[in-house]
Amino acid sequence: MSETSSSAPVTQPPPAAAPRGVTQTAPHAAPTGGPQVQRQFVNFSFWKLDPAFRRLSADEKSAAHEEFLTAFNPRRDGLICLSYSTLSLRAECDFLLWRIGSSPDVFQDQTQAINKTRLGGYLSTPISFLAMTKRSMYIDKLDPFHTAESRTHIIPGKRKYLFVYPFVKTRDWYLLPLEERQAIMDVHIKVGNEYPSVKLNTTYSFGLDDQDFVVAFETEKPEDFLDLVMKLRETQSSKYTQRDTPIISCIQMPMDKVLDQLF
């Protein structure tokens, strides 16, 4: 397993003409059983603006707004970054940066740039999840829901709503025979496939962060996602959930509009 990342190509960042940070074409995903692909790092960082920033003068705020976008907007090699507003959707935070990179160094480089702005003196990150991509050990026999590709390369879409949460399974789960787990997952996947409007991105945090997985669901129809989650409660997989909170609802939004919301 130590050779996993030896010879795979690095995920190509999206072409320069594309909207910043959004992949428009699938990267070089390997077919199952084919050559291994480079695994990516994924960071969900949730940011909060100190209300004290709002007490500054209109001029100071306007300058900080412009300065922040100048630091934030340029495309960074090896980094895909999507912004979402969480304002009024979650108490602890104001916005999310969903970051995907070939190395965590690119997350740090972007945060360093943020830290050097005026706004950086008023921003904190009350919630953060770190994860990596990885091919699933469960086979999706139908596959419209989980593509092998989606576990090794995140291709964030342009859907309005994103629902993110960490996921910890009970230790009992991992001691079940693989066949039994596959059977339980078959039902789980089958229910998921009834809601084609919902796209799931699963990433892996074992040993990197407090959770086992971070799951991120994209959809245009939040009511579908709600109904899906409620229906999954009635499947056997549900009883092997140890923790699945905090659950954070997000709305995709360009960064300048996010800032407009905040001050």
Identify residues 157-196 at the interface with a copy of itself (CB under 8 A). 163, 171-172, 174-175, 194-196
Q: Output 186 or 209, the one with its CB closest to a copy of itself.
A: 209
- For 29, phi then psi, to 5°, come to -75, 135
Q: Give the one residue of 28, 75, 134, 190 binding a copy of itself; rule: CB under 8 A.
A: 134
Nearer to a copy of itself by Cβ, of 24 and 174: the residue is 174
Q: Closest distance between a copy of itself and the C-beta of residue 213, in Å? A: 10
- Residue 59 touching a copy of itself (CB under 8 A): no
What is d(CA 208, CA 79) in angstroms, rounded to the nearest whole number? Answer: 19
Query: Residue 188: in which H helix or E strand, if any?
Result: helix 178-193
**Inter-residue contact 90 to 44 (CB < 8 Å):** no
260 is an interface residue for a copy of itself by CB under 8 A: yes
Among the listed residues 95, 98, 122, 145, the single contact to a copy of itself using CB under 8 A: 122
What does each C-alpha distance from 54 to 18, 57, 58, 123 come to in angstroms?
A: 33, 8, 9, 12
| Alpha-carbon span 160 to 38, nearest angstrom | 28
Q: Which two tokens stand for residue 100?
A: 């995907």
Binds a copy of itself (CB under 8 A): choice among 100, 155, 229, 255: 229
- Least distance (Å) from a copy of itself to the CB of residue 117? 8
Number of residues near a copy of itself (by CB under 8 A): 87
Please identify, using beta-carbon distances, which residue of 15 and 121 lies nearer to a copy of itself: 121
Give the span between the Cα atoms of 194 and 36, in whole angstroms: 31
CA distance 197 to 220: 7
Taking CB under 8 A as the rule, does residue 246 contact a copy of itself?
yes
Which residue reads 């009350």 in tokens?
Answer: 126
Task: Show the site string, 19-58: x = touches a copy of itself by CB under 8 A, - = not.
Answer: --------------------x-x-x-xx---xxxxxx---
* φ, ψ dihedrals at 129, nearest 5°: -120, 135
Q: Is 91 in the site for a copy of itself (CB under 8 A)?
A: yes
CA gap 44, 191 in Å, rounded? 26
Residue 15 or 158: the one with the smaller Cβ distance to a copy of itself is 158
Query: Is 135 one of the binding residues for a copy of itself (CB under 8 A)?
Result: no
